[in-house]
A = this chain, B = another copy of it.
């Protein structure tokens, strides 16, 4: 195992003390170390928000782009070089709000990246507005009379669209989360991990104690990962308990293996052949 410190950098962390993102950060380090992926071989891609700052706090390559747009950036990078190890960090607003359309497309592509949604059910960086996963009635400065929308159900969404790796993690269970990330990275295809992440500043509803009282680790023996019915049941159940773990997993065909061109190796590694272009031009007379 690579030393955890190898993933550490000296860039000043900008999260609130006690923020659930620290748990996620530690889980990522752990997962990478356990897989012995040296930091220089990791590419982190993120949108904009508190979650999306994660890459700055790891000693890896990163592209920290626009609010909502991490998945297409990751897709482009993957097309250029499908040997990359890509982790995508997004917030719930980032991924399910502004970036919702890209999530739908990533599911359709079965984009072979691991998506970590730091789901704190609130817009953290912009100071606490309701997010797509905030519950109906969630009150904030921008929603003084409560949010008028129902919460999105990301797990059920992914299940409905045939996703092959769907997991839920919790920032308070770092080792468990590290395991999910490892499994997600090992999965050939789109691995979606929705992480219950506590925002100690703007979400007074979904606190550590809220989760600690409800979290239930999925028992691999009881729950067969390829049982879709059981998975959808879990995804839709009322939040009296919150199962965490791999909800669903099946074999699928990852995006980059669907594209014939890529079977000859990553685009970035291919050599250019000017004579092939000349041949095309010659065909035109």
Q: Which A residues form the contact surface with B (CB < 8 A)?
A: 96, 98-101, 104-105, 107-110, 132, 136, 145, 148-153, 156-157, 159-162, 232, 235, 255, 258-260
Contacts and interface: CB of A to CB of B under 8 A. Distances in A.
A156 B132 CA distance: 19
Contact of A149 (B100, B108, B157, B232): B108
Number of copies: 2
A150 B104 contact: no
B161 A108 contact: no
Given A104-B96, A110-B150, A148-B255, A160 B159 contact: yes
A64 to B, nearest CB: 21
A157 to B, nearest CB: 5
13 contacts: A100-B101, A100-B104, A108-B149, A136-B258, A148-B255, A148-B259, A150-B162, A153-B161, A156-B160, A157-B160, A157-B161, A160-B160, A232-B232
Contacts of A150: 107-110, 161-162
A162 B104 CA distance: 17
Contacts of A109: 148-150
Contact of A108 (B132, B235, B259): B132
Contact of A156 (B98, B136, B161): B161
A152 B260 contact: no
Nearest to A98: B101
A151 B159 CA distance: 14
A107 to B, nearest CB: 8
Given A101-B101, A104-B100, A232-B232, A152 B161 contact: yes
B108 A152 contact: yes
Given A132-B108, A156-B160, A161-B157, A258 B148 contact: yes
Contact of A153 (B101, B132, B152, B162): B162
Contacts of A105: 100, 132, 149
Nearest to A259: B148
Contacts of A151: 108
A225 to B, nearest CB: 18
A150 to B, nearest CB: 5
Contacts of A110: 150
Name which of A145, A148, A232 has the most chain B CB atoms within 10 A of its CB.
A148
